Amino acid sequence: MASITIKNMPDSIYKKLKNRAKSNNRSINGEVVNLLKKELEMDFDSQKIMEQAKLTRSWAIGPMITDKEINEFKNAGRE
């Protein structure tokens, strides 16, 4: 297995990592490996996310309202 060295880690991050490792009954190394594994296994596809956002927007009922229109409606309601 490969090994890495982490340099210039801020003390605050190290303390959080150490506390997290302790609460999960892991060594610091084990906690780092677990965190990296979880992060790298996530399915992050920006194109897929953008397509989903466009699809979600298409489900919106009615036209999109601009900030200008919202402010006009608010001001009209205050009169």
Q: Provide the CA 27 distance to its chain's centre, in angstroms.
A: 26
Q: Average of pLDDT values for 39-68? A: 83
pLDDT grade, residue 65 (50/70/90)? confident
Do 32 and 17 touch, CB atoms closer than 8 A?
yes
Does the pLDDT value for residue 61 go beyond 80? no
Q: Average of pLDDT values for 52-76? A: 84
Please count the helices (runs of H) and the strands (runs of E) in the chain: 4, 0
How is residue 43 written in tokens? 């399915």
Residue 31 CB neighbour total at 10 angstroms = 19
Residues 25-41: tens digit of each pLDDT: 999 999 999 999 998 88
Its pTM stands at 0.55
